[in-house]
A and B are shown apart, each in its own frame.
Chain A
């Protein structure tokens, strides 16, 4: 890793143990108004659709009514003559494909030859008004040749032709992966018990209340600008340069504050590329705002995943090996799918010690909107299965599910079987808190029929260890400018999607410089003026941007301190930056205002600025596929959910949730609690009611495979009346790898909710629902089976036979592995660490 150019000798690494133990922070850890709070409550936050430019035109997209069809021809002549129409574009105008991952550049701005789901865009109309553009869409005539529809992952396993994408690994299987860490069949053979369970996690979507919108314009100097509701302006920037064949250095992408993202605005989207194209052609600003139905077609949400767990345990419940297979329904395009596929097996090992682990996964292409990353990306589904299976194991072995977990937690500073590097793990405290709060020991298994408690745990990344396109550059950069007015401006490419990234940036800089966060000017998410940050995904921003911000601020502090030290004739190390002053810690009267200090420094050193950057540590995983899962550190959560079930109908009510989250350090506890509760909320939605499902009409009557209900009314998102009481415990054990010790919080606390509900339903009425959503219909079906004396379970019947490739075999650290696959010529077979005995 090369040192950044502007590094100075005085810069100290962020978050040294001394920092973490600092007695009192002035900003960090204080509950306070977020820096963008005022703008939000005034309604002045500029979301993309709120923007207007002179001479602005409006765009609408024509979308395919067929799930799978070849385009034989498009006649746009009538549309071109329609009222107000300025431009009509089709696939022929934009021939270059793009996609978020380098390995799946499979999307076109407008489909040139094949449409792959109902809603796939085929043409665009730009007109004076949105209504004119919409009206003209209907006069575009597209001649389609209908192709066979492939509507599910199981169907994709059977139907090899037609292929939805020619580049699929085989037939309609996009990607298969197989990894094995130690001899798993041997471990299972030697186990006292092997539990085999099949689970299904239904697909669902992000449902941000803001619909995606973009405004593209040709700047007066001939450069291209786009303001967009995107979580990843840098990746959009790259996609635009490619798809438009426009010089990357002449593009600026401005990520507007997102009206909710949750992963749904992380891909470069058709409408963004096409609006830019139209702006380039017409030389006028072009606005597009999707309607709610179209947002459902953008999707990139939770993959439906079928999974089979085979877990071997000793008599006391200690896991000896786990064999996991997953089948993902990917929808029509790659999106983040290859990463999602790996994520369905990446994080099983980071909570409980699993000495041997095999993971095999396949992702299918289907004629539905593409799936991708949603809060907890790919790890949510297998966590659901894993945590329910643990509950079953506990019940079968007569153990308390909390104790079963506590007896085999992963340890601090350890490596997992699949070479994930664990820093600090606060899961024990999380479990202890929720067990205590819910009075678990007295109440679990002992509540009256119809009432139940369920427990589940989870973990999530604090940022992905690798960028989406592999490179050795920093993942996040922060730049500060400081001037004689005492003003500090922080620049960073990070994107505010509601999670509070602006507040983290201001908070970190303010803490180091002794200022108030509200003093800091912020310029974020604009690729022409802000240093690159990879985007608001994988819970990476707090950790990565935070560390970069601290580095930049410490460098600035050092420069200013040098000037002040000279002036006051005190050693630099004695200077303190606090309360907008710089002063001698030995004699606090001796000092000056921050502004005076800056004036001294500007006079001595010239114009002031500093930079900081963050690159994650190199992962010890050196096998193919080892790039997904590593993270600088992992957050941990545990939840207990209390439910009531009506035995006659299966009606389910969640009374209360206790959740503990290992945050490392809460930078702003108000926002941290908001992320925890928001995650609980979304988990309740996924667990109880949300599903992105499709209508497959009788093929004789219709080819359609349509989204069942692309509306906010019928896609069920919990309301203010559906939210139970939530008790949140923040576990603060500062992690040396995080800024001021902080870990992620935006995604992890979602994960334990769904399995905890399922486990609570079992405690309440003795039935298992092994799939989401856990609806009253499914509970009642299981109750019916129970009444007949049959296995009281609703869930998938089995897992299909998949031709798995031979796994990459990697010896776990405690079996002499060095992080390389056995067939890697460099494999050296030496122990990396003796963290487990």
Chain B
């Protein structure tokens, strides 16, 4: 049977974000970005255009880098969402986070959440990426501060760190 969700009232949805389950009422025309920031109190995910043109809002959905500004909240329920808030292992930084903080991968920090989760997906798939693979993977995340080079180096350093 076709499922129907009406547009004019809030609906209940079950969101699995960073391993936590949230059962919340949300407006069904909201994107995942709005649900995260406004309904789930997770402002770590940023927005720079809300039109898919910058990558600041990137999150992982079922492990895949996804633009939360273009994904409807109602299509994100019951899926595994990972945001920057879920990267650290309790209080311990993820190796990517540590490398970005140490090596200049983050200047103003605004594109950083989207870059970090995208880089995590890369390392999950390709533990020892080449510089070209890193560039390709991060080609959807605009950064105006760094010139990217320290970002690439931080990803490479994290890959070293993660290696068994």
Contact = CB atoms under 8 A, between A and B. Distances in A.
In the complex, are there CB atoms of A and B closer than 8 Å?
yes
A674 B150 contact: yes
A208 B110 contact: yes
A259 B85 CA distance: 18
B147 A677 contact: yes
Interface string B127-154: 0000000111011111111111111100
A673 interface: yes
A209 B111 contact: yes
B147 A680 contact: yes
Contacts of A674: 104, 107, 145-147, 150
Nearest to B107: A498
A498 B150 contact: no
Contacts of A210: 46, 48, 108, 110
Contacts of A680: 147
A498 B100 contact: no
A15 interface: no
A50 B140 CA distance: 23
A674 B150 CA distance: 7
Interface string A40-81: 111111010110000000000000000000000000000000
A701 interface: no
A720 B107 contact: no
| Best-surrounded residue of B98, B139, B144 (most CB of chain A within 10 A) | B144
Contacts of A416: none
Contacts of A401: none
Contacts of B136: 721
Interface residues of B, number: 55
Contacts of A176: none
B25 interface: no
A33 B101 contact: yes
Main secondary structure of the interface of A (DSSP, over half): loop
B24 interface: no
Interface in B85-144: 85, 87-88, 93, 96-98, 100-113, 116, 134-136, 138-144
Interface in A670-694: 670-671, 673-674, 677-682
Contact of B53 (A206, A713, A726): A713
Contacts of B138: 720
Interface in A420-442: none
Contacts of B101: 33-34, 37-38, 40-41
Nearest to A657: B147
Nearest to A669: B104
17 contacts: A37-B100, A37-B106, A41-B106, A50-B37, A209-B56, A209-B142, A260-B108, A291-B50, A670-B102, A674-B104, A674-B146, A682-B147, A711-B49, A711-B51, A712-B54, A720-B135, A720-B141
Interface of A: 32-34, 36-45, 47, 49-50, 206-211, 257-262, 291-292, 497-500, 670-671, 673-674, 677-682, 711-713, 717, 719-721, 723, 725-726
Given A498-B109, A720-B135, 10 more contacts: A40-B108, A41-B98, A41-B116, A259-B46, A498-B107, A674-B150, A678-B145, A682-B144, A682-B147, A720-B148
Interface of B: 37, 43-51, 53-54, 56, 83-85, 87-88, 93, 96-98, 100-113, 116, 134-136, 138-152
